[in-house]
Amino acid sequence: MSERESRLRSLAEELLASGQVRTFIGFGPGYEPSRPLPWFAQDPAGAAQLLLNPFCGATLARYLLDDGSPGPVGVLARGCDGLGIERLLADRRVSRDRVHVVGVTCRGAVDPDKAYREAGDTPLSAELEGERVLLTTASGTREFPRASCLYDRCLSCADPSPRWADDWLDEPLPPGKREFPDVAGLEQQDADRRYAFWTRQFSRCLRCHACRQACPACHCVSCSLDHPEWLDGGISLDNNFMYHFTRAYHVAGRCIACGECQQACPAQIPLMLLNDKFMRDIRDLFGVCHPHRPQEKEPLGQFCPDDPEGWREGGAQP
Amino acid sequence: MSLTWEPKIVGFACQWCTYAGADLAGTSRLQYPATVRPIRVPCSGRVNPAFVLRAFQRGADGVLVAGCHPGDCHYTTGNLFTRRRYSLVKRFLEYLGMEPERFRVEWISAAEGKRFAQVVQEMTADLKQLGPNWKMRETT
Amino acid sequence: MPRTGVFVCWCGINIAKTVDVEGVAAASRSLPGVVHAETYKYFCSEPGQNLIKEAIWEKRLDRVVIATCSPSMHQATFREAAQAAGLNPYLVQIANIREQCSWVHSNREEATGKAVALVTAMVAKVRRDEPLQAFTLPVNRRVLVIGGGIAGMQAALDIADAGYPVVLVEREPNLGGRMAQLSETFPTLDCASCILTPKTAEVARHPLIELLAYSEVREVSGYVGAFTATIARKPAYVDWDKCIGCMLCQEKCPRKTPSDFQRGMGPGKAIGVNFPQAVPNRPVIHREHCTYFQTGKCQVCARICPVDAVDFNQAETTQEKQVGAIVVATGYEVVAPDQFGEYGYGKYPDVIDSLAFERLNSSSGPTDGVIRRPSDGAVPKEVVFIQCAGSRDPDKGKPYCSKICCMYTAKHAMLYRHKVPDGQAYIFYMDIRAGGKRYEEFVQRAVENDGALYLRGRVARVYPEDGRLVVKGVDTLSGQNVEVFADLVVLATAAVPSGGAPGLAQALKVGTDEHGFFNEAHPKLRPVETLTRGIFLAGSALAPKDISESVAQASGAAAKVLALFSREELLADPLVATVNESHCSGCFWCRPTCPYQAIEEKALRDRQVATVNAGLCQGCGACAAACRNGAMKLRGFTDEQLLAEVNALCL
């Protein structure tokens, strides 16, 4: 057990025992060691089962909405969780006095599928060491490059630590800068090829709405994409374009870049490529950089008197 | 029906500036192609981007969103939100593969009947060159 | 399914020449919900309107589409006709097939096709229209005027003279505002108090003006016709109802203090009035200067007062006033002295601002109108005036022109020469802006008759030497460096919004520009209105203005108020935003897009949701576009309606 894990357990135990929180959201045992699951500890015994290891992947913020407990909720927060919590606070879906944030610095989470592919066996534990990942399977421990083991979303992550927390498990790191090489790559292609690319992607969409359900910014009490006047139920390419256009636009300027949507997609549609396009253009056109604080005004809920006219500046090319 | 194909343009026009400008084009008897089908809205800031996509979905060959010049909004700030919103949406549509000529944002004041006619003429010519739109369009 | 009637107008040959009107009517008959379609030469004519009314009765129509000229021409006509026939007027839509079809297209086939599309869209839209009632807002015909300077007083008098009650709130203990500090006025050189005092007296005795001096507006709620203002009365520590205005207290008060009114030059007292003609002529105790409040001893004023009016226990009181309209006339002040290190302002006593120079000129000023410099009381023989001190200076955050300084500086130079005939005035300036009736002539008089020496250029530094001040600058016309030895330096400091303006703007929910001046509804066409219906602006609250402009604007604002008060009730357009509460998540991201602050909060069992104050909403629909899930709905332009129009036009 790592030092951070034991600190997490004792802190959560203390918070629960003292009644400071009624529930603590973190990670707990899943059906195999490489797949820990979100864990709602309700008592000190539950806290004793909390896990904190490189397999802890999912962004936890959205579980704050699923929590029905009346009292304050404690939550483990890495950078993505922290931004997700800020998102929910800014959208007024969660109130500050109901959440107790335990901050931790994250250097990326290991994707169990990638790890399985690399190691050729079910990974039992993992350790991050600089640019390398040490994976232990039943047959021993081997080293792999970071890029081939971590979740894609963690590879482009700019927020190792939350911006603030009520308690810290370790020293926070400052946010970095997010770059958008894949967006630029797609922009290099001509319109027809881009359309063909997205057609290939969207024609796979099952409209299962997993991307929406996983997103900390997509939590309307009633979603427009369930309203028949906006989108009838039919799964067709044009409806899928409508769905994905609307989903991406609705999180434009609000996306926290946690990548949960893409992670959740069973059809493996590169949804972050849509979110990143808005994020990049918002940075280029209006100077609002990711990660911007969700508490600040939304980029689309404000303006400057001398904003550029984005449609005149060479269209898709930056 | 005429044998030559004519493009279909859905034009969102703010009632204070662009719609009045289009009326002025009428009272001035300026001629422009019958390709544009205007939709009167109170302000360009009322136009949800999904309306634009819906137009393409239902078979529009081009979409125009037009309002007062920045600084002249009847509601003072509506078109400044429009500017931000459609700066992004325009680029996003192109990113999804739409040709730039198919979607335009224009500031057309109540005095610019000529400008309205000119924009419709330009857009019609561009769209004729491109041919009918089939991207993001429903198949029947 | 509604029963829709379609009426296709020929407009003589205006439409019929290019559009096959019968064809349009025939095509309409096959549209969903259309039970009747007909054409007529002129539906706007009386027989034409009667045809529509008859069809509504006979065919039991509950929706009407008229394909005719632009809605800006006859929408109101047709809505009234429908209403006369018993149909809700908001169930009528216009398809514009003249200005935007027959007049701009020549190909009959194409024009007809487009006309059919436009009718189809309107049939689809009208189907989704709901019957609406223009709601009425009762008008409380009383006005709140904030600010008792010349603009506020003028507005109050104009409105009260028309017979409506006015509540006039003034922050200071007395009326008059900035103008009360002035000595003479340009371009006539008549004395400020000679023209101001009759106004203050008129305000004071007007039976319809309730003057709340030494008071501030703290909160404002409501909307046009029905505002509620919370007004705080600051403690004067003197019971003004008992007080008879003898001013024995001021005379006997042992505590001499610098007076703000005299720009810190003259002695004031801890109790008293700002100037002898003050209206109301009632003293206040300045707590921060009062010996009793500082040490617990003294009470000379209380002992001397013949009517026992001094009350050291007085506390702030608040009251609410219900009004139907508000005029904001909060005026300006001059920029703080710490901005001008290079001129030594605040450091050398003989570097003063122009308001101080007004006081030196004023017969009720600290020197009884004799121009003496603050340091030693000597009459200055050389005076340097520096214009644009702060104004037109982006580095100082004031890129704007303060507008009045060119004129009052010319006035100062003249007054100075009249009082010190052997004195010399130097004026450093950037440009002379003397636009206005007899303004340019006035400046020329200063130059030609009164020997003012204008030097074009900026002053770099002012520093003391041998009891005088050295002013170093550049004359950009000759290209020479200039050095003037001066006895007194007067800065024409930038005019800035009065200190209370930002808080007031917030309370009123009215916007200000980046400098804090109130925003007008339209810079050219609605200069005295704000974006909030029922709130008007006058005077320098909006931007620096001279007296005549302030008075003109105040009368303009008064006229707007009177127009509002000319009705018992206001009709408000029902085409405003409403919230579908079951859909609203309560994120409130609609709020920043609303220019009218019309979006308010409402508590549901489990969350706060948005609600629209229909009195404030102007129906722009920015909120509806900002709402991600369509919970915010703009009546008359709902998502369903606009999507239906799109669908119909793409057929």
C640 touches chain A (CB under 8 A): yes
- Give the residue from B10, B53, B118, B105 showing the smallest Cα distance to A310: B105
Asked if residue C153 is part of any domain, the answer here is: yes
Q: Which two tokens stand for residue C45?
A: 């004519």
- Give the residue from A149, A104, A114 showing the smallest Cα distance to A128: A149
Residues A38, C23: Cα–Cα separation, whole Å: 66
**Which residues from B are below 8 Å from A when comparing CB atoms?**
49-50, 53-54, 57, 70-71, 77, 80-81, 83-92, 94-100, 103-105, 135-139
Residues C329, C217: Cα–Cα separation, whole Å: 12
Kindly write down the DSSP assignment for every residue of A251-314, as one continuous string: TTTT-----HHHHH-TT---THHHHHHHHHHHHHHH--PSSPPTTSPPGGG---TT---GGGS-
Cβ of B83 within 8 Å of Cβ of A186? The answer is: no
Asked if residue C45 is part of any domain, the answer here is: yes
Q: Which two tokens stand for residue A247?
A: 């989903």
Local structure of C522: helix, strand or coil: strand
Q: What is the dihedral of CA A314, A272, A246, B137, to 10 degrees?
A: 70
Asked if residue C504 is part of any domain, the answer here is: no
Mean pLDDT of all residues belonging to chain B: 94
Residues B72, C642: Cα–Cα separation, whole Å: 24
Q: Which two tokens stand for residue A234?
A: 């039919």
**Residue labelled with tokens 């920045």:** B70
Residues A284, A303: Cα–Cα separation, whole Å: 14
Q: What is the dihedral of CA A125, A126, A127, A132, to 10 degrees?
A: 150
pLDDT of amino acid A316: 39
CB A49 within 8 A of CB A29: yes
Band of pLDDT at residue C96, cut at 50, 70 and 90: very high
- Which chain B residue lies closest to A186 (C-alpha atoms)? B95
In b/e form, how buried is each residue of B36-50, taking b as 16+ CB within 10 angstroms? bbbbbbbbbbbbbbb
Inform me whether the pLDDT recorded for C134 exceeds 60: yes
Q: Is residue A67 exposed (0-12), middle (13-18) or buried (19+ Cβ within 10 Å)? A: middle
Inform me whether the pLDDT recorded for A124 exceeds 80: yes
Considering the segment(s) B9-130 as one domain, its CATH architecture is 3-Layer(aba) Sandwich (3.40)
Q: Min CA distance, A283 vs chain B (Å)?
A: 11
Same domain, residue pair C311 and C163 = yes
List the subunits that have 3+ CB pairs under 8 angstroms with B: A, C
**Model confidence pLDDT, tens digit, residues C159-206:** 999 999 999 999 999 999 999 999 999 999 999 999 999 999 999 999
Q: Which two tokens stand for residue A294?
A: 């969700």
Band of pLDDT at residue A315, cut at 50, 70 and 90: very low
The complex scores an ipTM of: 0.97
Same domain, residue pair C117 and C160 = no
**Which residues of C fall within a CB distance of 8 Å from A221?**
582-585, 607, 629
Band of pLDDT at residue C531, cut at 50, 70 and 90: confident
C308 Rama sector, left if φ>0, alpha if ψ -120 to 50, beta otherwise: left
B122 touches chain C (CB under 8 A): no
Helix (DSSP H) and strand (DSSP E) numbers for chain C? 16, 34
**Within a 10 A sphere around the Cβ of C621, how many other Cβ atoms?**
31
**Residue labelled with tokens 């629960």:** A16
| Residues whose CB falls within 8 Å of the CB of residue A234, separated by 6 or more in sequence, listed in order | none
Cβ of A309 within 8 Å of Cβ of B92? The answer is: no
pLDDT of amino acid A292: 56
Inform me whether the pLDDT recorded for B63 exceeds 60: yes
**Model confidence pLDDT, tens digit, residues A67-109:** 666 779 999 999 999 999 999 999 998 989 999 999 999 999 9
Band of pLDDT at residue C337, cut at 50, 70 and 90: confident
Q: Min CA distance, A222 vs chain C (Å)?
A: 5
Element (H, E) at C239: none
Element (H, E) at A146: helix A146-149
**Which residues of B fall within a CB distance of 8 Å from A193?**
97
Residues C227, C230: Cα–Cα separation, whole Å: 10
Cβ of A282 within 8 Å of Cβ of B104? The answer is: no
Cβ of A91 within 8 Å of Cβ of C629? The answer is: no
Dihedral sign computed on CA atoms, order B131, B132, B134, B135 = positive
Q: Which two tokens stand for residue B8?
A: 């279909």
Residues C382, C426: Cα–Cα separation, whole Å: 8
Q: Mutation test of the interface with chain C: which of B2, B48, B74, B84, choosing the one with the most C Cβ atoms within 10 A? A: B48
- Give the residue from C456, C438, C382, C450 showing the smallest Cα distance to C413: C450
**Model confidence pLDDT, tens digit, residues B84-104:** 999 999 999 999 999 999 999
pLDDT of amino acid B3: 61
Same domain, residue pair C115 and C250 = no
Same domain, residue pair C336 and C469 = yes
CB B10 within 8 A of CB B60: yes
Q: What is the pTM of this model?
A: 0.76
Band of pLDDT at residue A291, cut at 50, 70 and 90: low
- Which chain B residue lies closest to A283 (C-alpha atoms)? B88
Q: Mutation test of the interface with chain B: which of A182, A188, A195, A198, choosing the one with the most B Cβ atoms within 10 A? A: A195
Cβ of A238 within 8 Å of Cβ of B137? The answer is: yes
Same domain, residue pair C34 and C167 = no
Inform me whether the pLDDT recorded for A1 exceeds 80: no
- Give the residue from A161, A152, A156, A118 showing the smallest Cα distance to A136: A118
**Residue labelled with tokens 């290891």:** A53
Alpha-helical regions (H) of chain B: 18-27, 49-58, 78-95, 113-130
Inform me whether the pLDDT recorded for A290 exceeds 80: no
CB A232 within 8 A of CB A224: no
Mean pLDDT of all residues belonging to chain A: 91
pLDDT of amino acid A69: 67
Q: Min CA distance, A131 vs chain C (Å)?
A: 41
CB A109 within 8 A of CB A158: no
Element (H, E) at C461: strand C459-465
**Within a 10 A sphere around the Cβ of C555, how many other Cβ atoms?**
18
Percent of chain C scored above 70 by pLDDT?
Answer: 100
Element (H, E) at C409: helix C405-419
Q: Is residue A127 exposed (0-12), middle (13-18) or buried (19+ Cβ within 10 Å)? A: middle
Q: Min CA distance, B27 vs chain C (Å)?
A: 6
Mean pLDDT of all residues belonging to chain C: 94
C608 touches chain A (CB under 8 A): yes
Cβ of C587 within 8 Å of Cβ of A93? The answer is: yes
Q: Which residues on neighbouring strands pair with residue B36, listed in sequence order?
A: B9
Check whether the bond before C187 is cis (ω within 30° of 0): yes
CATH code assigned at C612? 3.30.70.20
**Among residues 530-549 of chain C, which lie with CB inside 8 Å of chain A?**
none
Same domain, residue pair C220 and C244 = yes
Total number of domains in chain C:
4
**Residue at C90: amino acid letter:** Y
Cβ of A92 within 8 Å of Cβ of C643? The answer is: no
Q: Which two tokens stand for residue C322?
A: 């219900």
CB B45 within 8 A of CB C622: yes
Cβ of A224 within 8 Å of Cβ of C643? The answer is: no
Residues A295, A301: Cα–Cα separation, whole Å: 12
Band of pLDDT at residue A317, cut at 50, 70 and 90: very low
Domain that holds residue C536: 143-177+214-327+518-565
Task: Supply the angle between the helices C150-161 and C547-565 in degrees, to the nearest 10.
Answer: 30
Cβ of C625 within 8 Å of Cβ of B32? The answer is: no
A234 touches chain B (CB under 8 A): no
Nearest-by-Cβ selection for C586 from A92, A229, A298: A92
Q: Where are the domains of chain B?
A: 9-130
Local structure of C551: helix, strand or coil: helix
Residues C486, C439: Cα–Cα separation, whole Å: 27
CB C620 within 8 A of CB C580: no
Can you list the positions of beta strands (E) in chain A? 23-28, 37-41, 73-77, 99-103, 125-129, 132-137, 140-145, 167-168
Nearest-by-Cβ selection for C585 from A220, A297, A300: A220
Dihedral sign computed on CA atoms, order A140, A146, A148, A150 = positive
**Model confidence pLDDT, tens digit, residues C400-430:** 999 999 999 999 999 999 999 999 999 999 9
Taking residues A301-310, report their average pLDDT. Answer: 89
In b/e form, how buried is each residue of C296-311, taking b as 16+ CB within 10 angstroms? eebebbbeebeeebbb
Residues A110, A129: Cα–Cα separation, whole Å: 12
What Å distances lie between residue A267 and A20, A38, A210, A214, CA to CA? 41, 23, 10, 15
**Model confidence pLDDT, tens digit, residues A137-192:** 999 999 999 999 999 989 989 999 999 999 999 999 998 888 899 999 999 999 99
Name the phi and psi angles at B41, rounded to 5: -130, 155
Asked if residue C197 is part of any domain, the answer here is: no
Band of pLDDT at residue C509, cut at 50, 70 and 90: confident
**Model confidence pLDDT, tens digit, residues C425-469:** 999 999 999 999 999 999 999 999 999 999 999 899 999 999 899
Q: Where are the domains of chain A?
A: 3-109+151-168, 112-148, 181-312
Residues C262, C260: Cα–Cα separation, whole Å: 5
**Model confidence pLDDT, tens digit, residues A202-261:** 999 999 999 999 999 999 999 999 998 888 878 999 999 999 999 999 999 999 999 999
